[in-house]
Amino acid sequence: MTEEVGRGTVLAGRYRVVDPLPSDLDDVSVWRATDQILDRPVRVRVLQSGAVAPALDAARRAALVTDSRLVRVLDVGMHGGAGYVVSEQISGASLAQLVERGALTADQARAVVGEAAAALEVARRRGVHHLALRPSVVHVSADGRVLVSGLAIDAALLGTAQADSAATSRTDAVDLVRLLYTGLTGRWPAGPDDVRTTSVPAAPVLDGVPVPPGEIASGIPNDLDTLCSVTLGPHEDGPHSPGDVVHELEPWGEIRIGRAADDTAGRGGAVAAGAAAAVAGDEPERPAAPVRVARQSVRSAFDELPAGTPRPGTPPPAVPTRSPNGRVERTGVLPVGVAATPAGPATPPSPAALPPLVREPETDLWDDGGSFADDPFAFVEEEEETRRRFDPTALVLVLVGVAVLIGLVFAARSLFTSPVGDREPVAQQTTGQEPPETEAAAPPVAEEPAEEPPQAVPPTIASIRTFDPTDAAGERVENVELAVDGDPSTFWFSYTYNRPDFGGLKEGMGLELTFAEASTVSGVTLHVNGTGGNVEVRATNGGAPTEGPLLASSTLSQSTVLTFAEPVQTSTLVLYFTELPTNAAGQFRLEVTEITVS
């Protein structure tokens, strides 16, 4: 608490400070507050000393970035000698609170960090970077929504020096991988000279780099383990922007730890309020009983009214009278002084006795004191309406009869003219011209076998796998079947490297195609996203990719056709990439959309 700001302080004549919240930054206090104008809860960060002006400037820049996964900055200002930043309230537990109960599953860690990376990629494109990511600034709400707080502000408070856009993007990308490491292991892999503080235990270090997460926890997929090891290793490898992290992690599924996060946040966020209530001796609030609305049927709403009292909102009944010709008519409103008596419950008439007009049984309860036992609204002059009604049945029958007659005429005419057409075959038979027609009809029968020769069915690819001379498991084995699924809109992609020669880590990597049976192959067509690099085709397997004769080689383009000098009989085929192409984003990465063989 500072001298200028404390419980009950009103900032800018609008935000009333209520309760303190935990903070992991020095000289920064966090408060739960209320916006008295909009009557909504907000979060206030009071900057007591240090880099107050740079932090307020960073908050103004962060307010220009709009994304549902970034905590919105609502107001910035000064109160006395302290600065303050007002933001929306944060719901849900932080990543630090979540891993206190144990590491996340690989799918959930992928999804949480993937959402955070997507949010920071939006900010990066607006020129704003976080530069101070840590487990306490990533939150998961009860409905599975990820929230990232402290965009640009925390870095200014920590005194992080600004660099060029490439360096700042790389910093956020590496920190996102650190968060992924934390989610998978429950340990924080702090970097050298890291000034950030966190309650998460530090990750073990070997030779100056964090131990791969696969050696700490079991069941971690190879791609996530490799991503953490390569990015946090001694080389400048791995993703260089939050967008690269998104590509490395996608696709991810639904976040299902929202309720657990809400429970954890409830335990952590209610500590101050619960402690205050315990000190004051107050009992904790119990949830209010659900409000129940009493319901009453319209049919029984006015049953308790005295007899003869008109029902509210019900128009006076019409007074039935008899005209001189003897018919019953409605003459309008009851005369003054005449009270309508509601009739008792009556048995509804049978459907056959219902009048032509639609009636509502609940309101047809009035009569003139016993004169009418039936529906008083059945005042229909049925005789006149029957006389005026037009019956189209006769006309329809006449039209149908005419149509049938016309059809018979046409049928008879066709029968009478059919013998004329039958005489032609007889005449042809008498002229002896049937044998030529038989000979002319023979060629179409002989053409059917001529269409069968194009049976050169291309070899069937039974399976595909990746191989890596430096890793027995292969490189990025997930979703490799997308390269042969027949859909060019989907693709498999390798890891991203900082050089086309795989960063000097290995000589190459490749794909092994296995056919359903030994087949004759004359060529391969390779579709990729990008240009450059180099590929070799050999009739071997992934265990020995450089053995066997070289069938074809070429640089890569969007559609690379590799035709063999002579067809080869084989059951496996290897595509060995000795140099990586460059994709549309300027990255050194292999993206294979489709592979076909002929």
In a domain, 187, yes or no: yes
Q: Where are the beta strands (DSSP E) in 57-149?
A: 73-79, 82-88, 93-94, 138-140, 146-148
SS (H, E, C) 150-161: CCCHHHHHHCCC
Nearest to 586 by CA among 502, 479, 499: 499
Separation of alpha carbons 50 and 55, rounded Å: 9
Nearest to 85 by CA among 56, 42, 65, 121: 56
In a domain, 401, yes or no: no
Question: Mean pLDDT for each 10-residue chunk of the chain (598 residues)?
Answer: 74 94 91 95 91 94 95 94 94 94 95 97 95 96 94 92 88 97 96 85 92 94 95 92 96 78 45 34 38 38 51 48 48 44 46 44 41 43 50 84 86 63 42 45 51 66 89 83 88 87 85 90 92 92 86 91 91 92 87 92
Separation of alpha carbons 93 and 72, rounded Å: 18
Q: Identify the domain containing residue 150 by its residue range.
A: 10-271
Which residue, of 271, 306, 330, is where some domain finishes? Answer: 271
Separation of alpha carbons 280 and 542, rounded Å: 72
DSSP state of 90: P
Question: What is residue 22's predicted lDDT score, i.e. its pLDDT?
Answer: 92
In a domain, 76, yes or no: yes
CATH number at residue 81: 1.10.510.10
Between helices 165-185 and 106-125, what is the axis angle to 10°? 160
The residue to which tokens 């009604």 are assigned: 389
In a domain, 104, yes or no: yes
Using an 8 Å Cβ cutoff, are 174 and 185 in contact? no
CATH number at residue 531: 2.60.120.260
Separation of alpha carbons 483 and 480, rounded Å: 6
The count of structural domains within the chain is 2
In a domain, 345, yes or no: no
Which residue, of 254, 271, 288, is where some domain finishes? Answer: 271
Nearest to 591 by CA among 253, 108, 250, 252: 250
Question: What is residue 574's predicted lDDT score, i.e. its pLDDT?
Answer: 92
* Angle CA 78–80–85, to nearest 5: 30
Question: What is residue 439's predicted lDDT score, i.e. its pLDDT?
Answer: 45
Using an 8 Å Cβ cutoff, are 81 and 10 in contact? no
Which SS3 state, helix, strand or coil, does residue 347 take?
A: coil
Distance of CA 247 to the CA centre of its chain: 16
In a domain, 547, yes or no: yes
Which SS3 state, helix, strand or coil, does residue 267 take?
A: helix
Terminal CA-CA length for the chain: 75
Question: What is residue 497's predicted lDDT score, i.e. its pLDDT?
Answer: 85
Nearest to 369 by CA among 332, 339, 337, 334: 339
Question: What is residue 196's predicted lDDT score, i.e. its pLDDT?
Answer: 87
In sequence order, what are the residues at sequence separation of 6 or more whose Cβ sits closer than 8 angstroms to the Cβ of residue 184?
103, 104, 106, 109, 213, 217, 220, 224, 228
Separation of alpha carbons 205 and 130, rounded Å: 25
- Paired with 523 in beta bridges are 563
Radius of gyration of the chain (CA): 42
CA dihedral 263, 268, 269, 272 (to 10 degrees): 140
Separation of alpha carbons 73 and 83, rounded Å: 14
Separation of alpha carbons 377 and 357, rounded Å: 8
Which residue, of 226, 241, 271, is where some domain finishes? Answer: 271
Which SS3 state, helix, strand or coil, does residue 507 take?
A: coil
The structure tokens listed for 187 are: 């340990």
**Mode of pairing for the β-strands spanning 559-579 and 532-538:** antiparallel
Q: What are the backbone dihedrals phi and psi of residue 157, each rounded to the nearest 5 degrees, phi first?
A: -70, -35
CA dihedral 37, 43, 44, 45 (to 10 degrees): -160
In a domain, 281, yes or no: no
How many Cα atoms occupy the beta-carbon half-sphere of 379 within 13 Å? 16
